[in-house]
């Protein structure tokens, strides 16, 4: 909300903080940045602007997308955007006046119910900013619960998730983050992990499938973590749960995910949908909000904000988080998507992802000079070792209308490695076209 201030208001506020003018208040900002020369072109009419935007859009070159790395292209049934774009959903956003937002609260409650069933966990929050912040928030909860200060993560955690986690904990006194290395097959080296864990370890953050698409031995890892009294945070691909074991089945204390694959388009990388679940005993350590069911004065069912552990609702120093974002519209897409598919449909989608990725991996393996880097079971993406730098492969396949994958150049020793993804949106012809394009390099 913008509240204009009169000159007198401004004068009183400046006097209160001890400066004589707004210019003095902003003195630390370089002059060329403070008042830049914008040099804007001549204004356009609405009709001219529309034509200009269409001309710009026409320059976009469509690519058949084989890029994953945290955001995934899936088929979205037409009913998902048709329902979520209805005015009563699209404009409601988030229930600040909970008692007047029964429809929005009900959809959030249904989202929580679907997510608990999907993850096999006791409680779910009303969604978070994205998968990376949900993972970091879960780690912070573990630090509060255990009182310990050591965090262990997998070296196959998404690099961007590592950056977010580091940002979250860098200011916390005594907190240290260390990485457990991988074995040659692309999964965690369990002996090395065991050596990393101790009675000082608060939490282990386990991505499965990991950043390279490999599925971890979750039961064994869970046992190692809990044997030292630490907590386990599982980071999963929600689509994969149609075919692989759930976090609840291997006793995860918290389970988080990026919910974008559930009925939300890639949209150039956002917005995301942070999913967070936990065991019931840790419910009061969850950040954000939880919607529950109650009865009104007439005994009728009503939906309420049961828990609200964020800084907008309680004193900042007692809040479990100061994240305000609730991705209600993305969560609505997710619950509509999950409801349309049901358990059987989700399993079919997951199986198609599994099949397409393995079919493509086999085709790539037939091309001289290209091979899979890891041998562990994988879900819908995998690492390919190329005979040339991965970025050059990407550029050459772009000319053939293919988004080849994600270059792993930011990871030491993986300059020639390409992370390739194939979901249910790819046909057999698409997979063969990829193989043919590689043969031409």
Which pLDDT value is given to residue 25? 86
User: Which stretch of DSSP H or E encloses residue 303?
Assistant: strand 301-309
User: How does DSSP classify residue 128?
Assistant: B
Shared domain for 68 and 159, answered yes or no, is no
Enter the pTM of the model: 0.88
Q: Of the residues 312, 338, 364, which one is the last residue of a structural domain?
A: 338
Question: Is 59 part of any domain?
Answer: no
Give a yes or no: residue 41 inside a domain: no
pLDDT digits (tens, 9 = 90+) for 148-162: 999 999 999 999 999
Kindly state whether residues 278 and 411 are assigned to the same domain: no
Classified as helix, coil or strand, 379 is: coil
- pLDDT of 114 reads 97
Q: Under a CB-based contact definition with an 8 Å cutoff, are residues 352 and 424 in contact?
A: yes
Do residues 256 and 134 make contact, with C-beta atoms less than 8 angstroms apart? yes
68 and 132 both lie in a single domain: no
CATH code for position 250 = 3.40.640.10
How many CB atoms lie under 10 A from the CB of residue 385? 15
The helices-and-strands tally (H runs, E runs) of the chain is 14, 15
Give the N- to C-terminal CA distance of the chain in Å, as an integer.
55
Res 101: pLDDT = 78
411 and 289 within one domain:
no
Give the integer Cα–Cα distance in Å for 358 and 378. 8
Is 209 in the same domain as 347?
A: no
Alpha helices in 60-130 (DSSP H): 79-84, 87-90, 102-119
Q: What are 290's strand-pairing partners? A: 307
Domain membership of residue 417 as a residue range: 64-74+343-439
Going by DSSP bridges, is the β-strand pair 371-372/381-385 parallel, antiparallel, or unpaired? antiparallel
Strand-pairing partners, residue 151, are 177, 203
pLDDT number for residue 1: 46
Low-confidence ranges of the chain (pLDDT < 70): 1-3, 92-100, 309-317, 322-325
Last residue of a domain, one of 309, 338, 367: 338
With beta carbons less than 8 A apart as the criterion, state whether 131 and 257 touch.
yes
pLDDT value of position 96: 62
Centre a 10 Å sphere on the Cβ of residue 347 and count the other Cβ atoms it contains: 14
């Amino acid at each position: 909300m913008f509240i204009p201030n009169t000159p007198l208001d401004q004068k009183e506020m400046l006097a209160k903080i001890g400066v004589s003018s707004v210019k003095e208040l902003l003195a630390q900002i370089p002059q060329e940045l403070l008042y830049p020369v914008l040099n804007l072109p001549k204004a356009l009419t609405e009709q001219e602007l529309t034509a200009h935007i269409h001309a710009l859009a026409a320059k976009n070159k469509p690519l058949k997308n084989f890029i994953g790395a945290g955001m995934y292209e899936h088929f979205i049934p037409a009913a998902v955007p048709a329902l979520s774009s209805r005015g009563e959903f699209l404009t409601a956003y988030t229930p600040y006046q909970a008692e007047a937002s029964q429809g929005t609260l009900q959809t959030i409650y249904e989202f929580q119910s679907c997510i608990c069933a999907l993850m096999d966990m006791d409680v779910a929050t009303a969604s978070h900013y994205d998968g990376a912040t949900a993972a970091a928030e879960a780690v912070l909860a573990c630090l509060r619960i255990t009182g310990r200060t050591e965090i262990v993560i997998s070296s196959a955690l998404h690099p961007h998730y590592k950056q977010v986690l580091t940002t979250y904990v860098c200011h916390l006194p005594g907190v240290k983050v260390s990485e457990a290395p991988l074995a040659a097959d692309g999964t965690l080296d369990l002996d090395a992990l065991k050596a990393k864990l101790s009675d000082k370890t608060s939490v282990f953050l386990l991505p499965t499938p990991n950043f390279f698409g490999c599925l971890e031995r979750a039961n064994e890892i869970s046992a190692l973590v809990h044997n030292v009294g630490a907590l386990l945070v599982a980071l999963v691909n929600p689509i994969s749960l149609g075919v692989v074991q759930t976090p609840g089945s291997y006793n995860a204390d918290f389970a988080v995910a990026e919910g974008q694959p559930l009925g939300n388009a890639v949209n150039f990388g956002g917005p995301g949908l942070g999913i967070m679940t936990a065991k019931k005993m840790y419910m009061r350590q969850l950040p954000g909000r939880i919607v529950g069911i109650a009865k009104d004065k007439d005994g009728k069912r009503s939906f309420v904000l049961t828990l609200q552990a964020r800084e907008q609702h309680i004193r900042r120093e007692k809040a479990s988080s100061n994240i305000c974002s609730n991705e209600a519209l993305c969560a609505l897409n997710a619950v509509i998507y999950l409801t349309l598919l049901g358990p059987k449909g989700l399993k079919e989608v997951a199986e198609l992802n599994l099949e397409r990725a393995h079919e493509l991996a086999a085709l790539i393996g037939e091309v001289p000079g290209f091979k899979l880097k890891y041998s562990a079971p994988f879900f819908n993406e995998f690492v390919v070792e190329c005979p040339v730098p991965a970025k050059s492969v990407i550029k050459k396949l772009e000319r053939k209308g293919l988004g080849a994958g994600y270059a792993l150049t930011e990871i030491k020793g993986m300059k020639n490695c390409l992370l390739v993804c194939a979901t249910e949106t790819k046909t057999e012809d698409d997979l063969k076209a990829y193989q043919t394009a590689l043969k031409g390099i």
